[in-house]
Amino acid sequence: MDPGLRRDDNGVAAGRAIAMIYVIEQVLNGAQFGVMLFLMAAGLTLIFGIMNVINLAHGSLYMVGAYVAAAVFGATGSFLIGLAAALAAAIVVGIALEVTLFRTLYARDHLDQVLATFGLILFFNEIVRILFGATALYMRVPDFLNGRVEILPGAPYPTYRLAIIAVGLAVALLLYLLIARTRIGMLIRAGASNRVMLGALGVNVTLLYTAVFALGAALAALAGVMAGPIFTVESGMGESVLISAFVVIVIGGIGSIRGAFVAALLVGIVDATGRAYLRPLLALFTSRAAADSAGPALASMLIYILMAAVLFVRPQGLFPPRGR
């Protein structure tokens, strides 16, 4: 046998294995971004679907979570204490916002809600600058998650990112069980279809709304905490993820947790693989320079193209809530 041929075969096989590992890594990166988007989108879709409120300040709760976790983790050295503090802070801020502002916004039109909650974004961005300074906070990966796991032989993947996927999937499952199987879930769904009737049957809808808002705030903060070591903890960090989360709830069907979950993973994976493969893909058909300039631009537009395509086929989103 020609030894050169064998070497070539081995080279091709190794090349294929590396390509496959790269694909898996990109899908995992997409899933990790997707579950974080899901945590944001779940709260957003509940609040929008049930209370009919557009909350642009949902990204601010994500930011509050990241800042409080970074500060407390930095001060105590314990990631878990930082996480608990972030969730508690977001719940307190969420309840305070619901009681003082959102209760007056429920009956107002969407434009008023957009203006008021856009004002909140400016307020929160400024307040974190005052409290924590204009420079970004550094948040390191906690020691117990700092490492790599070999997902395939020769393919290590950061433990922290895998943990994010695991936590996101666990929260998605818990949220599904809460909404589909518990009495409070029934009340949340009933409130989405007819809150006046729900009140007339003895349910304190005001309290229910506050609880849902607090839950949404906690989920956003959890996303913010998990994002801390990956992205920069800085003023205004919530806005870009908020826009993606809105794309997710529109694709998934507004008010649907299941839709938010599927759409979040879809958006995450399309975004990650688009960023990885669009440029080399374009290079097959165009000049390298054109691919270099068009690829990244097109990749950042990909989730909006996806949204347009989904809405074209299913104007109510992939999983519109049933029977509303």
Partner 1 sequence: MLEVTGLDAGYGDGRVLFGVDLAVGAGEVVTLLGRNGMGKTTTLSSVMGIVRAQAGTIRLDGAPIQHLPPYRIARLGLGLVPEGRQIFPNLSVHENLVATASGAGRWTIDSVLGLFPALRERLASLGGLLSGGEQQMLAIGRALMTNPRLLLLDEATEGLAPRIRAEIWRVLASLKESGQAILVVDKNIAPLLRLADRHYILERGRTVWSGSSAELAAAPDLQQRYLGV
**Which positions lie near partner 1, rule CB under 8 A?**
183, 186-187, 189-190, 192-194, 196-206, 321-324
Quote the CA–CA distance of 132 and 134 in Å, as a whole number.
7
Shortest Å, Cβ 205 to partner 1: 7
Shortest Å, Cβ 250 to partner 1: 19
Half-sphere exposure of 204 (CA within 13 A, CB side): 3
Shortest Å, Cβ 194 to partner 1: 6
Shortest Å, Cβ 29 to partner 1: 35
CB 258 within 8 A of CB 189: no
Closer Cβ to partner 1, 98 or 271, answer by number: 98
Residue with tokens 């434009």: 111
CB 38 within 8 A of CB 167: no
Shortest Å, Cβ 301 to partner 1: 35
Closer Cβ to partner 1, 206 or 316, answer by number: 206
Closer Cβ to partner 1, 181 or 285, answer by number: 181
Quote the CA–CA distance of 40 and 242 in Å, as a whole number.
7
From the CB of residue 177, how many other CB atoms can be counted at a distance below 10 Å?
11
Residue with tokens 């081995």: 10
Closer Cβ to partner 1, 210 or 286, answer by number: 210
Cα R_g (the chain), whole angstroms: 22
Tell me the three state secondary structure of residue 152.
strand
Shortest Å, Cβ 254 to partner 1: 13
Closer Cβ to partner 1, 193 or 316, answer by number: 193
Shortest Å, Cβ 202 to partner 1: 4
Closer Cβ to partner 1, 49 or 228, answer by number: 49
Which ranges in the chain belong to alpha helices (H)?
A: 3-51, 58-76, 79-97, 103-105, 110-132, 159-181, 183-193, 195-200, 205-227, 237-252, 257-285, 288-313
CB 79 within 8 A of CB 93: no
Closer Cβ to partner 1, 3 or 202, answer by number: 202
